[in-house]
Structure 1
Amino acid sequence: MTTTPTVVLVHGAFADAASWSGVIAELQGDGIPVIAPPNPLRGLASDAAYVASVAAQIDGPVILVGHSYGGALITVAGTTENVVGLVYVAAYALEEGESLGELQGRFPLSPLVASLKEWTYPVPGGDPAVEVTIAEDAFPSVFAADVPADVTKVLAAAQRPLAAAAFEETAAAAAWRTKPSWALVAAADEAINPEVERFGAKRAGATIVELEGASHAVAVSRPKEVADLIRAAVRATG
């Protein structure tokens, strides 16, 4: 008897677990076990350790799905023993020893970079650290151009900021070297250059699906197509 893997959905920066709502509904409709834990967004090593700890506490096989920055996290956390597959959704697929900034820097910068707003947050025993969000006026075009305006307005207000230090931390491992992977490229992404998504996916040897006209918020705008790729991963590993 085969065990259906549990799907763990890892959101990225400037979003929260609710961004997976449509995908969750699709997977639950097929009886696929799924959870979407909160991503701390405080740093690559600590966030990946958290995701790994979530996966390790699940009985049976796990498929890790990462959106955006979440892709960098599943790349590291995917070395957890019971993880059987990785799915990248408009995401970064890093190499071991590589940072987000380094990978991005090989390609023309996306409009996101000029649209970031800096904030600070307290750090025990040290100076305040910097975190970033997307400026609200730029959020619709950069993050969610194919999402209805009323929904986008809410998403912009509910952003989860990312610690700026996360851009410079390097990946401690590249789980795609030993685990099968799938990748969805959002062809109209203005947050991550689609070339970055394609490059990482090809390097990882991923099974790639590309969605024309899809924004960075592809899990919100095209949940069925995102779920279809995850279903393929579940079928292949279950």
Structure 2
Amino acid sequence: MSTRPTLVFVHGAFADSSGWSSTLADLDGRGFPVLAVPNQLRGLTADADQVRSVLATIEGPVVLVGHSYGGAVIGEAARGADNVRALVFVAAYALDEGESIATVLDPETYPGGLLGPDTTVVRPFGEQDGDLYITEDDFATVFAADVGAARSRLMYLTQRPLSLSAFGGTAAADPAWRSLPCWALVAEEDNAIPPAGQRWMAERAGATISSTTSSHAVMVSRPEAVTATVLAAAESVG
């Protein structure tokens, strides 16, 4: 008798685990073990180590799901985590060795991303680091253009910042997507990560790709598309 995989979700920057709520409820109702890991957003290596420490406590196979910066994290975290059987990138970064989320997509090749100095504010901490937030005026457009105004406002108010260290953190050698089956969901109206860039990274990773008409907050505005993508990965494991 096959064992259903545990479905582990890692959120990205400017968000928290509550963004996965609809998909978590759906999958839980279908009888899958699910877990949403709070991403620390402090640095790529440290964040991946923290997720990997959680994976080490899970018995049986795992499907690891990442949104946005969380995609970069799962590509690192799954390396050396022998129970991870598949990766799912949701409007996400999939980095190769030496790349960071700041450098992986050339804006001339992949235009349209609105996340940058004009739409963010840095709140310094320590001597050399800072926290990056999306500004009040730009949050809805950049992150949640197809989310209702009230929900988008709450997402802005509760956004978790990304440290500059995490923004510039580079991936190590042998990302996990080189050795694991991958799925990817492209958000076709994403103003944070250009959709063409998402697709290029997913193709490079050899992912099975689907798409949906959505903003960057696809897990909030199109949770059914996220659920379908995760289920496809889970079925390949089970």
Deviation at 1:170, TM superposition (A): 1.1
User: Following the alignment from structure 1 to structure 2, what is the Cα–Cα distance between the partners of residues 77 and 37?
Assistant: 12
Q: Aligned AA for 1:115? A: T
Deviation at 1:108, TM superposition (A): 2.5
Aligned length: 233
User: Following the alignment from structure 2 to structure 1, what is the Cα–Cα distance between the partners of residues 105 and 50?
Assistant: 24
1:107 paired residue number: 110
Q: Is the 8 A contact 2:112 2:191 kept in 1?
A: no
User: Following the alignment from structure 2 to structure 1, what is the Cα–Cα distance between the partners of residues 128 and 203?
Assistant: 38
1:14 paired residue number: 14
Residues 76-115 of structure 1 aligned to structure 2 (within 5 Å): 76-79=76-79, 80-105=81-106, 107-108=110-111, 110-113=113-116, 114-115=118-119
User: Following the alignment from structure 1 to structure 2, what is the Cα–Cα distance between the partners of residues 99 and 14?
Assistant: 17
Deviation at 1:121, TM superposition (A): 2.5
Q: SS of the counterpart of 2:86?
A: strand
1:105-132 deviation line (CA, Å, top 9, x unaligned): 353251111311111224xxxx252110
2:125 paired residue number: 121
User: Following the alignment from structure 2 to structure 1, what is the Cα–Cα distance between the partners of residues 210 and 152?
Assistant: 25
User: Following the alignment from structure 1 to structure 2, what is the Cα–Cα distance between the partners of residues 118 and 109?
Assistant: 22
2:179 paired residue number: 178
Runs of 4+ in structure 1 deviating by more than 4 angstroms, as ranges, are: none
**What root-mean-square deviation, in Å, do the aligned CA atoms of Structure 1 and Structure 2 show?**
1.1
1:138 paired residue number: 138
Q: SS of the counterpart of 1:117?
A: strand
2:156 paired residue number: 156
Q: Aligned AA for 1:11? A: H
Q: SS of the counterpart of 1:39?
A: coil
When the two structures are superposed, what TM-score results if normalisation uses the length of structure 2? Answer: 0.95
2:37 paired residue number: 37
Deviation at 1:29, TM superposition (A): 1.4
Deviation at 1:103, TM superposition (A): 0.7
User: Following the alignment from structure 1 to structure 2, what is the Cα–Cα distance between the partners of residues 161 and 233?
Assistant: 29
User: Following the alignment from structure 1 to structure 2, what is the Cα–Cα distance between the partners of residues 153 and 169?
Assistant: 29
User: Following the alignment from structure 1 to structure 2, what is the Cα–Cα distance between the partners of residues 118 and 168?
Assistant: 14
When the two structures are superposed, what TM-score results if normalisation uses the length of structure 1? Answer: 0.95
Matched, 1:236 2:233: no
Q: Aligned AA for 2:28? A: Q
Q: Is the 8 A contact 1:110 1:193 kept in 2?
A: yes
Deviation at 1:102, TM superposition (A): 1.9
Q: SS of the counterpart of 2:55?
A: helix
Higher helix fraction: Structure 1 or Structure 2?
Answer: 1
Q: Aligned AA for 1:176? A: W
1:70-90 deviation line (CA, Å, top 9, x unaligned): 000001111211100000000
Deviation at 1:225, TM superposition (A): 1.2
Q: Which runs of 5+ in 2 are unaligned?
A: none
Identity %: 50
Q: Is the 8 A contact 1:26 1:223 kept in 2?
A: no
User: Following the alignment from structure 1 to structure 2, what is the Cα–Cα distance between the partners of residues 108 and 164?
Assistant: 22
User: Following the alignment from structure 1 to structure 2, what is the Cα–Cα distance between the partners of residues 96 and 3?
Assistant: 33
1:165 paired residue number: 165
